[in-house]
Structure 1
Amino acid sequence: MKVNIKNIKGEDTGKSVELLDDIYAVEPSDHAIYLDVKQYLANQRQGTHKSKERAEIAGSTKKIKRQKGTGTARAGSMKSPIFRGGGRVFGPRPRDYGFKLNKKLKKLARKSALTYKAKDEKVTIVESFDIDTPKTKSFLNILSSLAVQQEKSLLVVDNVKTNVYLSSRNIANTKVVTVEKLNTYEIMSASHLIISEGAVEKIESMFNSKVTA
């Protein structure tokens, strides 16, 4: 699949790049995408929720009424969950929501996500670029030139570009990531992918590697 390479002004450079079919034209697996997105979202959860149970409530353990003869249920102390201010029954405890996925499945999920974007013609390849000074306006002009200013876009670069990142972080619905940070959730969440020329090669080498996570 050949895609023309554009510059940051949105003009064709006369160059093109071949997007490999075994990355951008695979048989997509919706279930692999689902599992990878589920893992990503699970890993974002802090899991620090906690409520006090009966043994953790501060207060007296004095028996509040006699055992028999009141006509009501017996009660040991005010810490009982049936009373206001008492402990919670089976309350939440700190836990890790993360779970393991095989590397091959995660690789298939990302390939499937890239395939969907390529199939919908939502992939734009641009020359490797940088911004001299961090300016939001400069980045907005780039998005406008590429005709994606109204879309939720994900810019994939081959290495950390500080000025590009600083120029984009105040723009809603726009995110800049390196190839190493590319994940299924953000690919599927974006309406349009903008990939730098250098990042295309890095993506190919990453998926061809036998140790890709």
Structure 2
Amino acid sequence: MDIEVKTLDGASAGSLTLSDEVFGLEPRGDILQRVVRWQLAKRQAGTHKTKGRAEIARTGKKFGRQKGGGGARHGSRRAPIFVGGGRAHGPVVRSHAHDLPKKVRALGLRLALSEKARAESLIVVDDVKLDAAKTKALREKLGSLGLTSALVIDGAELNEGFAMAARNIPQLDVLPVAGANVYDILRRDKLVLTKAAVAALEERFK
């Protein structure tokens, strides 16, 4: 599959042939859903916590007679049925992460790249370099490419000027190629890859 390569200013910079094994797969929404669910579950903090009856600072002394009081038998005000008592079966600190085979994760990333290419939401640029970290200048360049919501993936290292200029622009994410992931690719309208990123991704799945 051939795609036009552009400069950051929107001008043409030749063309590039993309590998069908990485950018030409048939859509599989079920795989994408599994990978996104795995990513989001892994990043959950899991720090939600309520106190059980054993953790409530109240007396455990039996507060009424066993018989003859005209009510139910109770032995502690810390029981969940009382106001101020412990929570029954409440949430505890735990990890929400679950396993997902490495092959499924790799397939999910290739499917996400293929989906952007199929929807014509993939843009390849020669490089993303700025001499000075000026957000205004970067906004003008992104406007020439027609980008309002995009993920930019560069090579092994990010250009410092570009990364700093992109910090103040909403709905613009910048990642090195090692950080490419399904969730970030799908959450933005456009995917912008540098030629270095394309080469690294194709080499990764070779």
TM-score, length-scaled by structure 1: 0.92
Identity %: 36
- Residue 5 of structure 1 aligns to a residue in which SS? strand
5+ long unaligned stretches in structure 2: none
- Mapping for residues 30-41 of structure 1, pairs under 5 Å: 30-41=29-40
For 2:8, the aligned partner's letter is I
Once residues 174 and 12 of structure 1 are traced to their aligned partners in structure 2, the CA distance between those partners, rounded to angstroms, is 22
Following TM superposition, the consecutive aligned residue runs of length 4 or more in structure 1 with deviations greater than 3 angstroms are none
Once residues 129 and 190 of structure 1 are traced to their aligned partners in structure 2, the CA distance between those partners, rounded to angstroms, is 18
Give the deviation of 1:160 after TM superposition. 2.2
Q: What are the Cα deviations for residues 71-126 of structure 1, in whole angstroms up to 9, with x where unaligned?
A: 22111111111111111101111111111111111111111111111111111111
Once residues 130 and 204 of structure 1 are traced to their aligned partners in structure 2, the CA distance between those partners, rounded to angstroms, is 22
> Match for residue 173 of structure 1?
171
For 2:178, the aligned partner's letter is E
- Residue 90 of structure 2 aligns to a residue in which SS? coil
> Match for residue 3 of structure 2?
3
Once residues 28 and 162 of structure 1 are traced to their aligned partners in structure 2, the CA distance between those partners, rounded to angstroms, is 35
For 1:143, the aligned partner's letter is L
- Residue 27 of structure 2 aligns to a residue in which SS? coil
Is this contact kept in 2: 1:29–1:108, CA < 8 A? no
- Mapping for residues 77-116 of structure 1, pairs under 5 Å: 77-116=76-115
> Match for residue 187 of structure 2?
189
Q: What are the Cα deviations for residues 14-47 of structure 1, in whole angstroms up to 9, with x where unaligned?
A: x111111111111222111111000111012000
Confirm whether residue 203 of structure 1 aligns to residue 198 of structure 2.
Answer: no
Once residues 8 and 116 of structure 1 are traced to their aligned partners in structure 2, the CA distance between those partners, rounded to angstroms, is 23
Is this contact kept in 2: 1:28–1:111, CA < 8 A? no
TM-score, length-scaled by structure 2: 0.95
Once residues 76 and 27 of structure 1 are traced to their aligned partners in structure 2, the CA distance between those partners, rounded to angstroms, is 64
Is this contact kept in 2: 1:157–1:177, CA < 8 A? yes
Confirm whether residue 153 of structure 1 aligns to residue 157 of structure 2.
Answer: no
The total of aligned residue pairs comes to: 205
Give the deviation of 1:163 after TM superposition. 2.0
Once residues 115 and 12 of structure 2 are traced to their aligned partners in structure 1, the CA distance between those partners, rounded to angstroms, is 24
- Mapping for residues 54-69 of structure 1, pairs under 5 Å: 54-69=53-68
- Residue 193 of structure 1 aligns to a residue in which SS? strand
- Residue 116 of structure 1 aligns to a residue in which SS? helix
Give the deviation of 1:161 after TM superposition. 2.2
Confirm whether residue 126 of structure 1 aligns to residue 138 of structure 2.
Answer: no
Once residues 138 and 40 of structure 1 are traced to their aligned partners in structure 2, the CA distance between those partners, rounded to angstroms, is 34
- Residue 204 of structure 2 aligns to a residue in which SS? helix
Structural RMSD (CA):
1.1
For 1:23, the aligned partner's letter is V
Is this contact kept in 2: 1:50–1:93, CA < 8 A? yes
5+ long unaligned stretches in structure 1: 209-213
Once residues 30 and 119 of structure 2 are traced to their aligned partners in structure 1, the CA distance between those partners, rounded to angstroms, is 19
> Match for residue 17 of structure 1?
16
Once residues 153 and 58 of structure 2 are traced to their aligned partners in structure 1, the CA distance between those partners, rounded to angstroms, is 56
Once residues 142 and 100 of structure 1 are traced to their aligned partners in structure 2, the CA distance between those partners, rounded to angstroms, is 41
